[in-house]
Amino acid sequence: MAFITRQCIRSLSSSAALNAAIKHVTVIGGGLMGAGIAQVAASTGHSVVLVDTSEDILKKSAKGIEASLKRVAKKKFAEKPEDGEAFVQKVLKNISTSTDAVSVVQGTDLVVEAIVENLKVKQDLFGALDKAAPERTIFASNTSSLPIADIASSTARLDRFGGLHFFNPVPMMKLVEVIKAPGTSQQTFDALLEFSKALGKHPVSCKDTPGFIVNRLLVPYMLEAVRLHERGHGSKEDIDVAMKLGAGYPMGPFELLDYVGLDTSKFIIDGWHEKDPDNPLFAPSPLLNKLVAEGKLGKKTGEGFYKHK
């Protein structure tokens, strides 16, 4: 009877913790996505710790966040620049940095991971954090292509593990895909939805399927454009113009591939092809593979399908 009582108390306290608003957020990964998530969370009054492996990376992240906040303030407080500066400093005070993920998660409500798209690396990270974080802490991955259930399998908190897929640039893009894996509890999912809304984002509910919603449609679309070009059925320039003027897209598929990164797109499609080799939508592209092998990865390297200054 005592055991049952203890279990009930533990369950009730866990439920209460999950129903409480998320106030303290730990973001793992100081790249563009992680820094963007940290900025948005701090801007909406959350206490944020941004974590990465080196102080140099974190200093670069901090400079990027400050520059981004100043751009926001310039527009938001055009007539009162002094209020804009106060806004920037207020947000920056909500952000601290650390190279020790294990220590900082001991007092956090939510961990958002935004590191390299490598399943083992993510599993190793969450496996270590799972031992240090309180029972109430929710874990979430910002993965764009890996199954949430596979990442969560390295932890003992499948019910408190979900996906929060933000879009680049995070401060500008309103969408967040909130992913409910098979083990994710409804309370955890609801907490992630409410957190997304608290950030001023528009969350959409997703199942734990390849690419969720956006990338499941977007990546095959971009690859089909490459196949169209490979077959000689259209130049990349004409295909881009056709999709912009005919479908109202802000960028054509080749422009978008260069923006996203050819290596990123190849990584996603290769992973899906490995899991579902008979699906023609997931077939690799010889041209994409060639460009990646040559180091032509898009805007970040100065050349992809197009040359960039």
What is the chain's pLDDT, residue by residue, as a tens digit (309 residues)? 344 444 444 444 444 445 568 999 999 999 999 999 999 999 999 999 999 999 999 999 999 999 999 999 999 898 888 999 999 999 999 999 999 999 999 999 999 999 999 999 999 999 999 999 999 999 999 999 999 999 999 999 999 999 999 998 999 999 999 999 999 999 999 999 999 999 999 999 999 999 999 999 999 999 999 999 999 999 999 999 999 999 999 999 999 999 999 999 999 999 999 999 999 999 999 999 999 999 999 999 999 999 998
Measured distance CA(222)–CA(230) in Å, rounded: 12
- To 10 degrees, the CA torsion angle through 68, 190, 110, 135? 180
User: 0.85 cut: is pTM over it?
Assistant: yes
Question: Between β-strands 161-166 and 175-180, what pairing exists: parallel, antiparallel or unpaired?
Answer: antiparallel
Q: What is each CA distance from 272 to 96, 149, 284, in whole angstroms?
A: 37, 15, 10
Q: Residues within the annotated binding site for NAD(+)?
A: 29-34, 52, 117, 122, 144, 168, 300
> What's the order of all strands across the beta sheet hosting 47-51?
95-98, 47-51, 24-28, 110-113, 138-141, 161-166, 175-180, 202-207
Extract the annotated binding site.
29-34, 52, 68, 75, 117, 122, 144, 168, 300
Which residues are designated catalytic? Answer: 144, 165, 177, 215
User: Within its chain, how far is the Cα of 11 from the centroid?
Assistant: 30
List the binding residues for CoA: 68, 75, 144
